[in-house]
Amino acid sequence: MNPITPIINGLSITLKHLFMKPVTLQYPDERPKVAARFRGLHALNVSHNKAKCVACYLCPTVCPAKCITVEAGEDDNHDKYAAKYEIDMLRCIFCGYCVEACPVDAIRMTGEFELANYHRKDFIYNKERLLEKK
Amino acid sequence: MVNLTIDDKQVTAPKTATIYEAAKLNGVNIPILCHDKKLKPFGACRMCLVEVEQMKGRQIPACTTPVTEGMIIRTSTPDIVKARKMVLELLLLNHPLDCPVCDKAGDCDLQNLTYEYKVDSNRFTDEKFHHQIDYNNPLIERDMNRCVLCGKCARICDEIVGFGALTFINRGIETKIGCEFEEGLNCEFCGSCISVCPVGSLLARPFKFKARFWSLTKQKSVCGYCGTGCNLTLGVKDNKVLTTLYDENQGFHNGQLCVRGRFGYQFINSDKRLTSPLIRTNGRLTECTWEEALTAVASRLGGGNSVAALATPRLTNEELFLFKKLMLDNVGSSNFDHSAGYAHAALTEGFTRSFGASASPASILDVQKTDLLLVVKTDSYETHPVIGFEINMGVKNKGIKLNIISDKRGKLSKLPGANTLVHSPGSEVAVLNAIAKSILDQKLSDGSAASIPGYAELEKSLAAFTPEAVAATSGISADSIQKIAKDYASVEKALIIFPVGQSYPGHNQEMASAVANLAILTGKIGKEGCGVLCMSEKSNSQGAVDMGFYAQNGGMNGLQILDACKNGTVKTLFIAGENPVVSYPNGANVKAALDAVDFLVVTELFMTDTAAMADVVLPACSFAEKEGTFTSTDRRVQYVKPAIRKNVKCKTDFEIIAALIAKLGGQAPSAPASVFAEIAASTSGYAGMSYVSLQSEGAFAPVNVTPKLVASKAAQTVSAESGKLVMVTGSALYHSGTLSQFGEGPMHVCPEVYVEMSRNDAARFKISEKDIVTVSTATGSIKLKAKVTPRMPEGVVFIPYHFSEAPVNAIWNGSAVTVVSIAK
């Protein structure tokens, strides 16, 4: 084989890619478009100005990483609510079982994926932080 | 036994069994909502439908149909499954689907059956109920919207508890379970209804929303309150005891519990628990290390007989055994006791001289097997409620004749056919002697009685107790005494029970001998359903007696120890768990004694009034945190294992005593198991027992009886001069000792001490319910709330002893009957 041919072939591929749309993103200047079914940071759904969660403990029960801590409380109407709802993102494996298990559609997973932080304690998302994502 | 076929399997079952029981016995599970082992068949839920070949084409309820020879039963044909699905659909029509917020989820029979039968849709539609939910009760929450009308709560309350707080009200679709006049629950709060509810209609409010059922670890244990020895299943999560769970197969009582056992567990994880050793420096108790505290204690234990000890009979056998060893071998003192000395005298003195053994020659199981029960004091129900349930069941289901000799009426007197003889306070021994006299006079005694040692002396001593003479002082007619004697002697099997305890000083050795005489004279001993049962007060009172942790061989008893503290003979007092400031007679005297003693060591769970006076306080562990054995009142030895890990800063009494033995140069045992081996080798009746053999269920330590008739002296009757009343002390149903003050359940129901009096006295002194009255004696005076009840006879008031706030020992010097004056 002509020793030049492979070089030309290679260069043609390079040349072709030079004019193709790049597959990489100039993150963080450019933002990726996450899929609707992406499993990112959790959010607690809100209805009538309060969390829908009724503290049934199904999510901590189903969670394979045991990263969810719920403590139930009794409100003024004697209804059950989550007095404490914490997810330890360092343990979470983003499997989405919590969403699947929830009987009242109180938890969902958002497209939020930028979860890096400086302190371990900042990875523990309490109820207020989870509620922020409307 | 009858032979029958269940699902193509040849099986046998007892003649009295129902199809449901026969199936269960042979491992075939029939679904059911309205059945409990202890209750009578009811047939409300229609889930247990089965087909019997002989009754072609019909589906019949398994729970109410008795088995017959040759029955061919099928428990799950397609037709039956269809019918059961239909039943579930109809139940779910009105049952709210609020499982996520219902505490019963996970343990709910309806939920489990719905899953099992895959009822995921409903062909029918109807509105759910909108009954008002009772949130106000501190212990039992009632949500009748979830009710499936199985009736178990109403039945258990009626059949076993004998209270009848709940019942069906209204008719048809409006039917619901409710209380009288649709008011709130005002009952004994034993929680039996909660335990049997198949759905979330009745829930334990203290446990509300605390945890889901499936996250609880079930730890078997033995109740640490009274001497009945009920078995408990504790629901534990994150090293906290959150609730007690129901297990119908547990113990002689089939999981049945009283208010203290079911709702009194909160003291285990109380915030008020002591967590650090404390030592008195400059007059104040300050935290210190264990090493400092134990060194300080060990340095004061060297004084031989100038050291004394008081222990609570809530310690395990191992701890008491080791404590005794510490006192005898390492300290060199024989001054140790529990429960003030008199609370166990019935066993250690009375039964020892009458039966030759310091234990009751009967068991709780005999209650159901007997023909006639003679109960001394209606308080037997209050002190040992679960034995009370056994009496209820025996009287109602088996027609046991119930005779009661008491200084007041009580719940037991309300049982059908109960014959209650109310005597003047303090005359129970005289009445018992009169019964013995009457047995002799009517020639009802057993043929062999005359040959039993002491017969002649007894006959002579009884001369003074003719029914007529006793009738004059006791207020019971001679006829009634003669009738009770005749009834008791003429039945084949008869059992006598009486409670003992710190608040029953009259139930002493004299009473023990008096009742023992009755049993011995009539030969009602050593047989099934016969004997005498002395109901010891605390969880291990019998064990403390068996371990010999009481004054023997010249040692001082509890009250003598306190006197010796006061006059300076005792210089170091070691109190393990007792709270004499509240529970021993004459509180002022106890306080003076504890003030006077040079060095006071207290091991306690809480900063009690006694601990507050100590020089060193050592934080100890509750029954849920330690290993050991408890011996119940009928000498059933039961193994207790730790349900939760103890706080690392606390030590069990076993560890404390072992450390002290080591410090005093002795050989400290490594584990309770090795001490129990010593106990088994040295204690009569315990031979052959080991932790391994006790783990699954307890074992009875047999009691060898050598009967002897002993003349018992009756106490002088006390009569109040005009304008005064006589006071008797005792136990309140909701409390046990002073420990239950730290259980939230008992304190919700009975938060403070009261004085109970008759309506006539209340009218005479112009006192109405809940008035604050001053009760005073020569010893002192206290202010209490008045409680006016029909059960008290005129001229008698009752005050329970459990409370640190206004303790009854401020006005009580330890006599069985005290004359008091009452003013508003």
Per-residue confidence (pLDDT) for residue B303, from 0 to 100? 82
CB-based contact (8 Å) between A74 and chain B? Answer: yes
User: What is the tens place of the pLDDT at every residue in B433-465?
Assistant: 999 999 999 999 888 888 999 999 999 999 999
Q: Which helix or strand (DSSP H or E) is residue B643 part of?
A: none
Across the range B164-177, mean pLDDT stands at 91
Q: Smallest Cα–Cα separation from B537: which of B273, B251, B344, B733?
A: B344
Per-residue confidence (pLDDT) for residue B26, from 0 to 100? 93
CB-based contact (8 Å) between A9 and chain B? Answer: no
CA distances in angstroms from B159 to B179, B254, B391, listed in the order given: 16, 14, 11
- Bridge partners for B574 per DSSP: B309, B601
Asked whether residue B101 is domain-assigned, the answer is no
Asked whether residue B83 is domain-assigned, the answer is no
CB-based contact (8 Å) between A58 and chain B? Answer: yes
Same domain, B334 and B283: yes
Same domain, B287 and B186: no
User: What is the tens place of the pLDDT at every residue in B204-233?
Assistant: 999 999 999 999 999 999 999 999 999 999
- What is the Cα–Cα distance from A41 to A27, expressed in whole angstroms? 19
Count of Cβ atoms closer than 10 Å to residue B196 Cβ: 26
Among A61, A78, A104, the residue with its CB nearest the CB of B135 is A78
Asked whether residue B645 is domain-assigned, the answer is yes
User: Does B751 score more than 60 pLDDT?
Assistant: yes
Tokens representing residue A3 in the block: 């020793």
Across the range A112-127, mean pLDDT stands at 93
Q: How many domains are contained in chain B? A: 5
CATH code of the domain covering residue B302: 3.40.50.740
Asked whether residue B90 is domain-assigned, the answer is no
User: What is the tens place of the pLDDT at every residue in A66-94?
Assistant: 999 999 999 999 999 999 999 999 999 99
CATH code of the domain covering residue B743: 2.40.40.20
Confidence of residue A37 (pLDDT cuts 50, 70, 90): very high
Radius of gyration of chain B from its Cα atoms, rounded to whole angstroms = 28
CB-based contact (8 Å) between A46 and chain B? Answer: no
Per-residue confidence (pLDDT) for residue A133, from 0 to 100? 57
Per-residue confidence (pLDDT) for residue B596, from 0 to 100? 93
User: What is the tens place of the pLDDT at every residue in B49-105?
Assistant: 999 998 887 899 999 999 999 999 999 999 999 999 999 999 999 999 999 999 999
Per-residue confidence (pLDDT) for residue A1, from 0 to 100? 76
Q: Smallest Cα–Cα separation from B300: which of B570, B651, B520?
A: B570
Q: Domain locations in chain A?
A: 25-132
Per-residue confidence (pLDDT) for residue B165, from 0 to 100? 93
Per-residue confidence (pLDDT) for residue B446, from 0 to 100? 87
Average pLDDT of every residue of chain B: 92
**List of chain B residues whose C-beta atoms are within 8 Å of the C-beta of residue A107:** none
Same domain, B296 and B242: no
User: What is the tens place of the pLDDT at every residue in B1-48?
Assistant: 899 999 999 999 999 999 999 999 999 999 999 999 999 999 999 999
**List of chain A residues whose C-beta atoms are within 8 Å of the C-beta of residue B215:** 57, 61
CATH code of the domain covering residue B459: 3.40.228.10
pTM for this model (two decimals): 0.93
Of the residues B98, B209, B210, B237, the best mutation for testing chain A's interface (the one with the most A CB atoms within 10 Å of its CB) is: B209
Q: Please give, rounded to a whole number of angstroms, the shortest distance from the CA of A108 to a CA of chain B.
A: 18
Same domain, B312 and B389: no
The separation between CA B249 and the C-alpha centre of its own chain, rounded to angstroms, equals: 19
**List of chain B residues whose C-beta atoms are within 8 Å of the C-beta of residue A56:** 99-101, 105, 212
8 Å CB contact of A56 and B105: yes
| B206, closest residue in chain A (CA to CA) | A74
Among B101, B135, B208, the residue with its CB nearest the CB of A54 is B101
User: What is the tens place of the pLDDT at every residue in A3-14?
Assistant: 899 999 999 999
Confidence of residue B183 (pLDDT cuts 50, 70, 90): confident
Asked whether residue B94 is domain-assigned, the answer is no
Per-residue confidence (pLDDT) for residue B181, from 0 to 100? 87
Among B100, B135, B209, the residue with its CB nearest the CB of A103 is B100
User: What is the tens place of the pLDDT at every residue in B105-151?
Assistant: 999 999 999 999 999 999 999 889 999 999 989 999 999 999 999 99
Q: Please give, rounded to a whole number of angstroms, the shortest distance from the CA of A122 to a CA of chain B.
A: 24
Confidence of residue B716 (pLDDT cuts 50, 70, 90): confident
- What is the Cα–Cα distance from B420 to B322, expressed in whole angstroms? 44
User: Does B493 score more than 70 pLDDT?
Assistant: yes
Helix and strand numbers (H, E) in chain A are 4, 7
Same domain, B379 and B507: yes
8 Å CB contact of B214 and A61: yes
8 Å CB contact of A80 and B209: yes
Asked whether residue B86 is domain-assigned, the answer is no
Same domain, B358 and B307: no
Strand-by-strand arrangement of the B231-237 sheet: B217-222, B231-237, B240-245
Same domain, B622 and B649: yes
Same domain, B666 and B811: no
Confidence of residue B677 (pLDDT cuts 50, 70, 90): very high
Per-residue confidence (pLDDT) for residue B450, from 0 to 100? 87
Helix (H, G, I), strand (E, B) or coil at B303: coil
Q: Does residue A28 have a cis bond before it (omega within 30 degrees)?
A: yes
User: Does B715 score more than 90 pLDDT?
Assistant: no
Asked whether residue B767 is domain-assigned, the answer is yes
**CB neighbours of B194 closer than 8 A, spacing ≥ 6?**
B140, B153, B202, B203, B204, B246, B262
Alpha helical stretches, state H, chain A: 4-18, 58-62, 97-101, 127-132
DSSP secondary structure string, B44-100?
Answer: -S---EEEETTSTT-EEETTTPBP-TT-EEES--HHHHHHHHHHHHHHHHHS---GG
User: What is the tens place of the pLDDT at every residue in B356-366?
Assistant: 999 999 999 99
**List of chain B residues whose C-beta atoms are within 8 Å of the C-beta of residue A57:** 211-212, 215
Same domain, B325 and B353: no
Per-residue confidence (pLDDT) for residue B720, from 0 to 100? 75
8 Å CB contact of B99 and A103: yes
8 Å CB contact of B100 and A104: yes
- What is the Cα–Cα distance from B354 to B520, expressed in whole angstroms? 9
User: What is the tens place of the pLDDT at every residue in B289-320?
Assistant: 999 999 999 999 988 889 999 999 999 999 99
Per-residue confidence (pLDDT) for residue B58, from 0 to 100? 87
Residue at a domain's end among B216, B246, B268 = B268
Asked whether residue B765 is domain-assigned, the answer is yes
Tokens representing residue B815 in the block: 């006599």
Percent with pLDDT over 70 in chain B: 100
Same domain, B233 and B282: no
CA distances in angstroms from B509 to B357, B504, B516, B701, listed in the order given: 13, 12, 10, 22
Per-residue confidence (pLDDT) for residue B719, from 0 to 100? 76
Q: Please give, rounded to a whole number of angstroms, the shortest distance from the CA of B135 to a CA of chain A.
A: 8
**List of chain A residues whose C-beta atoms are within 8 Å of the C-beta of residue B211:** 57
Identify which has the larger pLDDT, B596 or A2.
B596
Task: Please give the angle made by the CA atoms of B531, B685 and B450, to the nearest 5 degrees.
Answer: 40
Across the range B741-751, mean pLDDT stands at 92
Provide CATH code, domain A25-132. Answer: 3.30.70.3270
Same domain, B550 and B683: yes
**List of chain B residues whose C-beta atoms are within 8 Å of the C-beta of residue A73:** 209
Same domain, B416 and B526: yes
8 Å CB contact of B212 and A61: yes
Per-residue confidence (pLDDT) for residue A134, from 0 to 100? 54
Structural domain span for residue B139: 127-268
8 Å CB contact of A78 and B133: yes
**List of chain A residues whose C-beta atoms are within 8 Å of the C-beta of residue B209:** 55, 72-74, 80
